[in-house]
Amino acid sequence: MELTIAILLGILWSQIISHWGASLLLHRHYCHNQFKVPVWFETIGLAMLMIACIRTPIGWIASHRMHHKFSDGPGDPHAVKHVGFWKVLLTTWNINNIPARYARDLYKNPRLVFCHKHWLKILIGVNVVSYLISPYFWLAFCVVPFIFAKIGFGLLNTVGHRTPNGANVPWLNFFIAGEGYHRNHHTNMKRVRLHKWDIGGWIAEKLFLDYGQNKTIIKR
């Protein structure tokens, strides 16, 4: 019973991390500058990403910029055709893989720099403390979100690119908070809301309405 509850709570916690940390902050704010966020929102979101074992957000952001620059071609770190299915599915990209020019501006943000320098210490500390509280707490708080993040990003860059310039795969939204409308995203990277069922985009519109650059919903 305790195991089931821990897994269910972990899935719920993963959804919060996915929407707040991954979709709104990491992808839509940092990568594409769709809107601005207050420092408190950014700080909490980065903490969530550290819990989900994203490693260094700077590496993730820089690799994503490369992904859009070379989408599905040579130089795209997520191109299955050139990199291989399993490597794209399982690889966690970090700054050592990415040319520095894709990350120079990121080093101006002290919160990103802190996470970049100390991600391993944070990762170990969070996991040790969580396990000492309870193995079930550790499972819900750290393990399940890590699995969700790996599955979500891996499937987005493989299944979500089964066609050139991305594919809309609605069931992926369970893992990645609206990012399953991936073809819509590649069509216009500045669109805040990708589809009427894009929950992440809806949240962004409600929270950051003054900063949204394009609140048009793409119809199917």
166: in domain: yes
Q: Which residue has the higher pLDDT, 64 or 219?
A: 64
60: in domain: yes
218: in domain: no
> What is the C-alpha separation between 87 and 91, in angstroms, rounded?
5
Let me know: does 157 contact 78? Beta carbons within 8 Å.
yes
Q: What digits encode the pLDDT tens for the residues 169-216?
A: 888 888 887 788 888 888 888 888 888 888 888 888 888 766 444 444
Round the average pLDDT of the chain to a whole number and report it: 82
Residue range 49-60: mean pLDDT, rounded: 82
Q: Band the pLDDT of 70: cuts 50, 70, 90.
A: confident
217: in domain: no
Q: What is the pTM of this model?
A: 0.83
Of the candidates 129, 135, 126, which has an alpha carbon nearest to the alpha carbon of residue 2? Answer: 135
128: in domain: yes
Range of the domain at 151: 2-211
DSSP state of 28: I
Let me know: does 168 contact 181? Beta carbons within 8 Å.
yes
Domain count, the chain: 1
85: in domain: yes
